[in-house]
Amino acid sequence: MNPNRKPIIAGNWKMYKTSAEGVALVNALKAEVAGITKAEIVVCPTAISLPAINAAIAGSNIQLGSQNVHWEKEGAFTGEIAPAMLKEHGVRYTIVGHSERRQFFGETDAGVNKRAKAALANGLRPIVCVGEMLAEREAGKTEAVVAGQVRGSLAGFSKDDILATVIAYEPVWAIGTGKTASPAQAQEVHALIRRLLTELFGADVAGKVRIQYGGSVKPDNAKELLGQPDIDGALVGGASLKAADFAAIVKAAA
Ligand code: 13P
């Protein structure tokens, strides 16, 4: 972490929790994180639970995020959700390009770029996910893969666009596996991403962009990961489904 960047801890609930279960979870979380202002706290439930969770977090320090967003304002795009539809229900952040979307639903950097730009044009802040697969890391391609995803996903971004964006580095081999990247491995890629941002947007802007780490972040490894100079938060899957665990990660950041 760096004092120039406010840490951001986001919980990606993926396809877990009904609305009733989600409301119970945020109610417990609200009590655990009450009064914390030194870190931004975001929960990203399934789309159908957004209205219920939005109501449950009213007046708290927890913000709402979605797990995806479409690039068009409206239209014949079965199964997709437009930015204004998310905003109507209190959404502030939106995850785009999660590796599960890339792996299982064929999302590409070009599509991620369109989604992110539409989010920004509508006042939503994208959390743009990048990360290499195990085979790519083993083949020594981590840098090339991540750099390609960053360039492709952020193509055409202005300085204001990138300043409103969060980048999440999530090595695919660390997601849901219990195998977290070591703090040094994560820091190495975060530093690479910041160098790229410096090349694209200048050092002043790059120094303000928050880069989250994601992949088996737990209460017991959060502090060490967040202690790295270029790690500005966490995108948390499994541990975000338990109020006490997620709160412990928030406290490690705050
Ligand atoms: P886990 O924390 O369960 O590994 O998931 C990480 C993730 O994919 C967050 O988006």
Distance, in Å, from the CA atom of 175 to the CA atom of 31, rounded to the nearest integer, reads 28
Could you say which DSSP state residue 81 is in?
Answer: -
Question: Per-residue confidence at 180, pLDDT binned at 50, 70, 90?
Answer: confident
Considering its fold, how many domains does the chain have in total?
A: 1
**Could you tell me which of 7, 6, 38 has the C-alpha nearest to residue 236?**
7
pLDDT of residue 237: 98
Supply φ then ψ for residue 169, to 5 degrees. Answer: -90, 115
pLDDT of residue 87: 98
Give the structural domain span for 139: 8-253
Residue 177 alpha carbon, nearest atom of ligand 1: 4
List pocket residues of ligand 1, CB cut-off 6 Å.
12, 98, 170, 175-176, 214-217, 235-239
Helix (H, G, I), strand (E, B) or coil at 146: helix
- Taking the centre of ligand 1 as the mean of its atom positions, its distance from the CA of residue 57, in whole angstroms, is 22
The CATH number linked to 96 is 3.20.20.70
Q: Is 3 inside a domain boundary?
A: no
Q: Is 65 inside a domain boundary?
A: yes
Distance, in Å, from the CA atom of 121 to the CA atom of 142, rounded to the nearest integer, reads 31
- Taking the centre of ligand 1 as the mean of its atom positions, its distance from the CA of residue 128, in whole angstroms, is 14
Q: Is 238 inside a domain boundary?
A: yes
Q: Is 2 inside a domain boundary?
A: no
Residue pLDDT, tens place only, 56-108: 999 999 999 999 999 999 999 999 999 999 999 999 999 999 999 999 999 99
Best residue among 8, 9, 12 to mutate for probing ligand 1, ranked by most atoms within 8 Å of CB? 12
Helices 142-153/183-201 angle, 10° precision: 40
Q: Is 247 inside a domain boundary?
A: yes
pLDDT of residue 178: 84
pLDDT of residue 209: 98
Distance, in Å, from the CA atom of 235 to the CA atom of 228, rounded to the nearest integer, reads 15
**Closest residue CA from atom 9 of ligand 1:** 237
Distance, in Å, from the CA atom of 180 to the CA atom of 43, rounded to the nearest integer, reads 21
- Taking the centre of ligand 1 as the mean of its atom positions, its distance from the CA of residue 143, in whole angstroms, is 21
Cα of first residue to Cα of last residue in the chain, in angstroms, is: 10
Residue pLDDT, tens place only, 10-66: 999 999 999 999 999 999 999 999 999 999 999 999 999 999 999 999 999 999 999
Residue pLDDT, tens place only, 221-252: 999 999 999 999 999 999 999 999 999 999 99
Residue pLDDT, tens place only, 184-199: 999 999 999 999 999 9
Best residue among 236, 242, 246, 249 to mutate for probing ligand 1, ranked by most atoms within 8 Å of CB? 236
Q: Is 1 inside a domain boundary?
A: no
pLDDT of residue 2: 92
Distance (Å) of CA 254 to CA 13, 126, 248: 21, 22, 10
Distance, in Å, from the CA atom of 95 to the CA atom of 234, rounded to the nearest integer, reads 13
- Taking the centre of ligand 1 as the mean of its atom positions, its distance from the CA of residue 25, in whole angstroms, is 17
Residue pLDDT, tens place only, 113-143: 999 999 999 999 999 999 999 999 999 999 9
Positions annotated as catalytic residues are 98, 170
Residue 117 tokens read as 């730009």
